[in-house]
Amino acid sequence: MADLAGKVALVTGGSRGIGAAVAKRLAKDGANVAFTYARAADRAKEVVRAIEKLGREALAIAADSADPESGEAAVTATLARFGRLDILVNNAGIYEMGTIDRLTRDDFERTVSTNLRGPFLASSAAARNMADGGSILSIGSTFATHVPLEGLSLYSLSKAALIGMTKGMARDLGPRGITVNVVHPGPTATEMNPDDGPDADAQRAGILLRRFSQPDEVAGLVAWLAGPDGRNVTGGEFTIDGGSTV
């Protein structure tokens, strides 16, 4: 497939899990891909090699999405390497659990800095430099509006805010043909939440299809939204959760 031939994508948090799957899928569909990583340099090198094996160019950028300068720096590095930016995927995020009577100001600042301020600033920098007709996507969570467990108030807050941000940016950027959408994964088999982990059976019992999503499946939805078939889709929320929120 070459739906994204000639395009350049930037994926935040692209060294593992959903982010790595998205980076590789966009490359498979024809894009050259830059991605950020916070710590896992070895994993980042593996993603670079995987993208290059697909015949595309890759750029790994060391950046912590909690740093307010990281979004603009990543966009600048992408432009310096590839000369353009067509797709931004805000994937980097952290998962901080704790009941409201135990969460601290530091927990709040850390979560909101990474999960909300990071996507906002990266999107702002991308929008200033993105060609008309581009795409901005954010990875949200079904916990944005469906909270089946205690201890999710802070994480849910940060993901729910992405919905309003997405709709507002879609209106701002619509006249330029830039689409803006948010994808809400449900239980997904990653290192943070393995489908054979101690809580997996309890999660699986609440999924209508009785299985976790795979990162590649989430990446497929992202690629569709970023590709030519998604050009008339903007301001939307897309849930991929096997029916866990029905």
Residues 120, 164 contacting (CB under 8 angstroms): no
Q: What is the mean pLDDT of the segment spanning 111-127?
A: 98
CA–CA separation, 25 and 17 (whole Å): 12
Q: In this predicted structure, what is the pLDDT of residue 199?
A: 87
Q: What is the mean pLDDT of the segment spanning 25-29?
A: 98
pTM exceeds 0.85: yes
Q: In this predicted structure, what is the pLDDT of residue 40?
A: 86
pLDDT over threshold 60, residue 56: yes
CA–CA separation, 153 and 145 (whole Å): 11
CA–CA separation, 72 and 120 (whole Å): 11
pLDDT over threshold 70, residue 84: yes
Domain ranges of the chain: 8-240
Percent of the chain surpassing pLDDT 70: 100
Vertex 77: Cα angle to 214 and 10 (nearest 5): 25
Q: In this predicted structure, what is the pLDDT of residue 1?
A: 55
From the list 37, 82, 143, 155, the catalytic residue is 155
95 tagged catalytic: no
CA-nearest of 42, 43, 45, 34 to 10 is: 34
CA–CA separation, 140 and 217 (whole Å): 15
Name the pairing type of β-strands 87-90 and 8-11.
parallel
Q: Which fold has domain 8-240?
A: Rossmann fold (3.40.50)
